[in-house]
Structure 1
């Protein structure tokens, strides 16, 4: 009996050792933190979600969300970081134009009544995961360090609310803040917009949309943190080189795009193989927006009338800049506000950010692009424990202080 128990313990230990042996890219500066904080954790969440869906415990997206949020809640309770970072802030959960938001106001500003900058922030999570609670320590930190009013937007999430729900909520909340800045002692000419990952997508999409709005104050800047900007090409160098990583793999990113697009993962392999577009699209300017080395690019007729699409629900949306901002025409990029783009080497989304920064620069937009050779997706949320992320946060704050 003792021998049997010992053998079971050895077997369990061996399995745990195998499971916890998370592959770590050679260039990662703090490999144990990378493996523990993101790789193993997210891999486990994905496995639980897929197993749960197989046994009809719910959809993969719903279970994945529940697992990730449960871990986040436990971590915040154990560390108590939200409340530490909230010291010196007035934090209010309220509604802007029907959208739930959290407003962070420095108490010194509230008491003095002096005008300060404002920042609208959109959290990441593939339009599916995370909430304003997930980024609460970071958004509170931004408000304190900037001495600014920060609005964190709790937009509706896919797959229950596919595109354009998150975009519509993001536009509505931002417009409300621009129109009611004085109520929060905010200088309406000094309001910026920012977001990470899927939130970076929303920030870029809102910036493009509001640039065409008349009668609104202009956004002072947009700051995009490893943004997801295109769903036309899943074979860019960063997808090829880093698509196997558990922090955010190609497989998971394609799932996020599909949940946001039409909640039909039956097309997952089609998207991964880049068979979700047509020969015409692959030769059009849209493909050229992702691959600047393309030659013989053929501009599409207005309304995409000369483009054919595979028989996939809502597939035309992949060319909509509200869905994929990198698909915006060159003319729409001109006149956008100064832009900050942060990219990480170990991230399938690296090339999305790099290409957008280059296109914006060519369009005459002032661009500040910070690339972190040792960074991974989504390392900025670990700014208080991961040295490279702390450096990235300091540089991000420095940009905002100078440009808000």
Structure 2
């Protein structure tokens, strides 16, 4: 028995070290570090740690101990939640949907601005806890009531769980704004990554409910607004940039839409899109709508390869406006409230924000755009993670706060 314990004590650290070395090798073989990024060593370390967690999760999944996604979710909620003594934080449920309310403690003689926040994470990670510090900071710095929505995610829930929960929670909140001390004329919807995409869907959905107060502004932080054209300049230029690489996008998209991973190449090459549909949506999805300064000379052609009908039948849901909200009619876009759009230079989703910006502007919707030249996808989450914060993290969160305070 003693020998067995000695073997375990030696082998386990060796195993963990071996997995970490594999993660480091994978990092240096597969990723690109943008030249504009500050603190590249810190960036590399964080990405190696992420690859290590994914590798450990995959091992546990193969051993049928725990799914990789569940393993990642366990680790994300180990984050330290900072107590803010200036706020009252309340955990609640709207039906089956968990939400967290952040309210300033200071007594106000008037109703406050309200912010409905949808977190990111690609329906894989992200939670009320992992975005707690950001929502707390938004509530304090803008003197607003913030509602953070904890929607259902993978691996147990697929599309349309995210949008259904966020729309339903938003409607519930909007029906009782004064109960929470919120001014019905000053409600902002805000989201990051997939949560930014949810902002577009929620604002569009609420247009059909005129009995509710109107949203006064939408804040989209590095949003995903379409899942059709993955040959846009930003997808090509940043496909190997942490923390949202091409492989992670393909995995998250297929799992959330419950599409077999064997169709991932057809989705990314665009061969699952019929020719007439390509022509129909080209006016909104083409890289021609991306400013020239964002394009390199080595770009590949869009929608390469012949149409694959079998792939179309398996993946046609990507054309649903509830998945690709960029595709809704002009008459709906024209009714949307003013917008604040954040894009990051080193983010594959950069051009999703630029395309949606143009759609809004073409229909006369006021747009304020903030572009983070040294930013990367998810950078806003590091704004308070010292010593792992980045200058772009602080700039992004401060830009969002400045815009909201002006409403």
TM over 0.5: yes
**Counterparts of residues 326-337 of structure 1 (less than 5 Å):** 326-337=326-337
Aligned residue number for residue 87 of structure 1: 85
Aligned positions, number: 370
Aligned residue number for residue 43 of structure 1: 51
The runs of 5 or more residues in structure 1 that have no matched partner are: 77-81, 295-306
Mean Cα displacement is larger for which, 23-32 or 99-108?
Answer: 23-32
1:233-261 Cα distance to aligned partner (Å, 9 max, x none): 11111111111123101121122122221
Aligned residue number for residue 339 of structure 1: 339
- Mapped partners of 1:246, 1:44: distance in 2: 14
Normalization by structure 1: what TM-score? 0.85
- What's the offset of the Cα at 1:312? 5.4
**Counterparts of residues 181-192 of structure 1 (less than 5 Å):** 181-192=177-188
DSSP 3-state at the match of 1:232: coil
Task: Tell me if structure 1 keeps the 8 A contact 2:221–2:343.
Answer: yes
- Mapped partners of 1:95, 1:15: distance in 2: 42
Structure 1 residue 291 and structure 2 residue 286: aligned?
A: yes
Aligned residue number for residue 256 of structure 1: 252
Task: Tell me if structure 1 keeps the 8 A contact 2:113–2:183.
Answer: yes
Aligned residue number for residue 234 of structure 2: 238
- Mapped partners of 1:272, 1:127: distance in 2: 19
Aligned residue number for residue 114 of structure 1: 110
DSSP 3-state at the match of 1:66: helix
User: Aligned pair in 2 of structure 1 residues 139, 268: CA closer, same or farther (>3 Å)?
Assistant: same
- Mapped partners of 1:184, 1:41: distance in 2: 40
- Mapped partners of 2:396, 2:241: distance in 1: 21
Match of 1:172 among 168, 171, 186: 168
Task: Tell me if structure 1 keeps the 8 A contact 2:272–2:316.
Answer: no
Aligned residue number for residue 363 of structure 1: 363
DSSP 3-state at the match of 1:275: coil
Structure 1 residue 348 and structure 2 residue 348: aligned?
A: yes
User: Aligned pair in 2 of structure 1 residues 159, 263: CA closer, same or farther (>3 Å)?
Assistant: farther
Aligned residue number for residue 26 of structure 1: 35
User: Aligned pair in 2 of structure 1 residues 19, 244: CA closer, same or farther (>3 Å)?
Assistant: closer
- What's the offset of the Cα at 1:24? 1.9
Mean Cα displacement is larger for which, 270-279 or 122-131?
Answer: 270-279
1:124-174 Cα distance to aligned partner (Å, 9 max, x none): 010221211110000011011111110000011134222212111111111
What is the aligned-residue RMSD (CA, Å)?
2.6
- What's the offset of the Cα at 1:23? 4.3
User: Aligned pair in 2 of structure 1 residues 287, 309: CA closer, same or farther (>3 Å)?
Assistant: farther
The runs of 5 or more residues in structure 2 that have no matched partner are: 1-9, 290-306
- What's the offset of the Cα at 1:72? 2.8
User: Aligned pair in 2 of structure 1 residues 400, 252: CA closer, same or farther (>3 Å)?
Assistant: same
